[in-house]
Amino acid sequence: MATTFKRAVSHAQQPFVNEPLTDFSKEENKRAQAEALEQVKSELGRTYPLIIGGKQIESEHTFASVNPSQPNQIIGHFARATEEQTKEAITTAATTFETWKRVPAEERANYLFAAADIMRQRRFYLAAWMIYEVGKSWSEADGDMAEAIDFLEFYAREILRLAEEQPIVRMEGEDNQLVYIPLGVCAVIPPWNFPCAIMAGMTCAALVAGNTVVLKPASTAPTIAAQFMHILQEVGLPAGVVNFLTGSGSVIGDTLVDDARVRFIAFTGSRDVGLRIYERAAKRQQGQRWLKRSILEMGGKDAVVVDETADLDAAATGIVSSAFGFQGQKCSAGSRAIIVEQVYDQVLQKVTEKSRQLTVGDVTQPDVYMGPVIDENAMKKVLEYIDIGKGEGRLVTGGGHHGPGYFIEPTIFADVNPQARIAQEEIFGPVLAVMKAKDFDDALRIANDTEYGLTGALYSRDQQHIERAKEEFHVGNLYFNRKCTGALVGVHPFGGFNMSGTDSKAGGRDYLLLFIQAKTISAKK
């Protein structure tokens, strides 16, 4: 215990710094990623059990995770957890909480520091799993890894800060103290689109704060979660602190969310599933002693606004990477571009030209910018929106798709009415709606005219416009003269307003407060 304590202290004394991104123009990095892809290729198609209380539980009913670039390639087979197994996982988490909650914060933090070390060593290998499993390009997969490592390093330091003596007003004749204690069993339900970063981030926030976890990964990205689970076992995290439960959210989700022994839920995903969880979690179940907490990070319909003073080339570059990075499958994706009349034609032309240069294809190849969308359902949904868009705007580029993977061209609709469906609904694919605004006022009004409020960007050199946007552009993450994606842990605490969720600000100082509760202790002298 003494040595582990020292380790946490020495780690934590180094200030948090973001993990650098890999430079793939360097031959050695290119080679390392290519070799990792070969390595992972030889490991595809294995079967992964549930892990409950450290025990591997096989199931006769399984489902497959496939490569969206080549849907006949199976990444892994996973157990379909039953309702009974879901309850068993919760029972184990509840029992383990009784011991885990007494483990000192330093020791809990140490597991995260140790896991981060392994993830750093295995960075190309883990990225390779995401390249195969969800169709991330090399740099997108690398970014996901960097963010995952950042979350571990950041939350480990955060819990050490929160374990210190907390500032309260002193009073004569009494000793007063405020301490943070864990909540209990956390149901962690991540999405597939940041399958390492968000999955590991929510799981580690919960466990480092002293809670136990039932982790139900997204069904299209369970392999990277299984790899992470393996790392937690390697660093010696006690059995039962994190329980690995695969299966369809629509089948076991309600059982998990409704259970009276679940104390809180950390969810990131779509608006509709988030709303469902919010509603169900609010209902007190028989025997439930607490108000269930829900931390819900949901969708977006994010906008990049360009005014007449902007650097138009920079704006076009920002619009394109915000809209089409990872095929537009980011909650922060800039799926709307709102451009003032004066520069509309110029910016539209630049955006169109740049989009036409993007490569689309199998992301196991190094220089492909866009891979496939996640699965057949996503492909159908996006193509439906492209059809809708044809009736709502002017198709200026893209619209096509090709197989056998789920490849869709970067697609741009111009002259879109701000009330059009493609301007209001989250498509979650490579479809950009471009809108013309009369002036900056009009642009800001259009930008805010959405039920979401996650990210937004303004390209402008007009200080008054920038000041107004600071006050009026109603989004959780606002950017000036840069793209609206790519939030960094610690630097850009992340989370949105309105239907984008509970604004939990992942990767910020407020985040862990959602995973704990405060106890005030007063003693008369």
3-state helix, strand, coil in the chain (%, to 5): 45, 20, 35
Cα 495 to Cα 140, 230, 332, 475, distances in angstroms: 20, 29, 10, 9
Q: Is 268 in the site for ligand NAP (CB under 6 A)?
A: yes
Residue 220 in contact with Mg ion, rule: CB under 5 A: yes
Nearer to ligand NAP, 96 or 220 (CB): 220
294 binds ligand NAP (CB under 6 A): no
Smallest gap from Cβ 219 to Mg ion, in A, equals: 9
Q: Which stretch binds ligand NAP (CB under 6 A): 88-96, 132-140, 171-179, 494-502?
A: 494-502
Partner whose binding site includes residue 249, from Mg ion, ligand NAP, none (CB under 5 to 8 Å by kind): ligand NAP
Which residue's CB atom is positioned nearest to Mg ion?
220
| Catalytic one of 196, 204, 331, 484 | 331
**Active-site annotation holder among 153, 158, 297, 426:** 297
The β-bridge relationship of strands 50-52 and 55-57 is: antiparallel
Residues in 351-370 that interact with ligand NAP by CB under 6 A: none
Q: Closest Cα to residue 218, out of 75, 332, 321, 327?
A: 75
Stretch that binds Mg ion, among 167-175, 220-228, 258-266, 403-411 (CB under 5 A): 220-228
- DSSP letters for 322-382: HHHGGGG-STT---EEEEEHHHHHHHHHHHHHHHHT--BS-TTSTT-SB---SSHHHHHHH
Q: What minimum distance in Å lies between the beta carbon of 249 and ligand NAP?
A: 2
Q: What angle do CA 400, 373, 430 make, to 5 degrees?
A: 55
193 binds Mg ion (CB under 5 A): no
Distance (Å, whole) CA 97 – CA 239: 11
Q: Does 246 bind Mg ion (CB under 5 A)?
A: no
- Restricted to residues 87-146, the positions that interact with ligand NAP (CB under 6 A) are none
Is residue 364 involved in binding Mg ion (CB under 5 A)? no
d(CA 363, CA 456): 28
Phi/psi-derived region of residue 438, left when phi > 0, alpha when psi is between -120 and 50, beta in every other case: alpha
- Among positions 171-190, residues that touch ligand NAP (CB under 6 A) are 189-190
**CB-nearer residue toward Mg ion: 221 or 506:** 221
Annotation says 297 is catalytic: yes
CB nearer to Mg ion: give 66 or 347: 66
Contact (CB, 8 A) for 450 and 338: no
Among 48, 100, 154, 192, binds ligand NAP (CB under 6 A): 192
Q: Interface with ligand NAP includes 493 (CB under 6 A)?
A: no
Nearer to Mg ion, 71 or 486 (CB): 71
Question: Please, what is the minimum distance in Å from the beta carbon of residue 486 to ligand NAP?
Answer: 13
Q: Which residues of 390-416 are buried (b: 16+ CB within 10 A; e: fewer)?
A: eebbeebbbbebeeebbbbbbbbbbeb
- The DSSP output letter for 501 is B
Site membership for ligand NAP, residue 426 (CB under 6 A): yes
Contacts with ligand NAP by CB under 6 A: the residue count is: 34
Token reading at 78: 């996973």
Burial of 276 (0-12, 13-18, 19+ CB in 10 A): middle
The residue among 133 and 503 lying less far from Mg ion, judged by its C-beta, is 133
Structure tokens at 345: 């034609």
Could you give the angle at which helices 249-258 and 83-100 cross, rounded to 10 degrees? Answer: 40
By beta-carbon proximity to ligand NAP, the closer residue of 153 and 503 is 503
User: Of 30-38, 51-59, 292-300, 365-373, which part binds ligand NAP (CB under 6 A)?
Assistant: 292-300
Residue 69 is a binding residue for Mg ion (CB under 5 A): no
Indicate the residue among 322 and 460 with the shorter CB distance to ligand NAP.
Answer: 322
Q: Measured on CA atoms in the order 4, 190, 137, 306, is the torsion positive or negative?
A: negative
Task: Please count the residues of this chain forming the interface with Mg ion, following the rule CB under 5 A.
Answer: 3
| Contact yes or no for 144/126 (Cβ under 8 A) | no
Distance CA 125, CA 22 (A): 13
193 binds ligand NAP (CB under 6 A): yes
Region from 49-57, 217-225, 304-312, 507-515 binding Mg ion, contact rule CB under 5 A: 217-225
327 binds Mg ion (CB under 5 A): no
Neighbours of 104 (CB within 10 A): 14
Binding piece for ligand NAP, criterion CB under 6 A, among 100-108, 405-413, 495-503, 508-516: 495-503
The answer to whether 202 and 188 have CB atoms below 8 angstroms apart is yes
Q: By CB under 6 A, what part of segment 309-348 binds ligand NAP? A: 331
User: Does 35 qualify as catalytic in the annotation?
Assistant: no
The CA distance from 307 to 318, in Å, is 14
Amino acid identity, position 267: F
Decide which of Mg ion, ligand NAP, none touches 240; Cβ closer than 5 to 8 Å per partner kind. Answer: none
Decide: is 300 part of the binding site for ligand NAP (CB under 6 A): yes
CA distance 324 to 402: 17
- The reply to whether 469 sits near ligand NAP by the rule CB under 6 A is no
Least separation in angstroms between CB 400 and ligand NAP: 23
Phi/psi of residue 283, nearest 5 degrees: -85, 125
Q: Which residues are catalytic?
A: 297, 331
Residues that bind ligand NAP in the complex, under the rule CB under 6 A: 189-194, 198, 216, 218-220, 248-250, 253-254, 257, 268-270, 273, 276-277, 297-300, 331, 426, 428, 454, 496, 500-501
Residues that bind Mg ion in the complex, under the rule CB under 5 A: 65, 133, 220
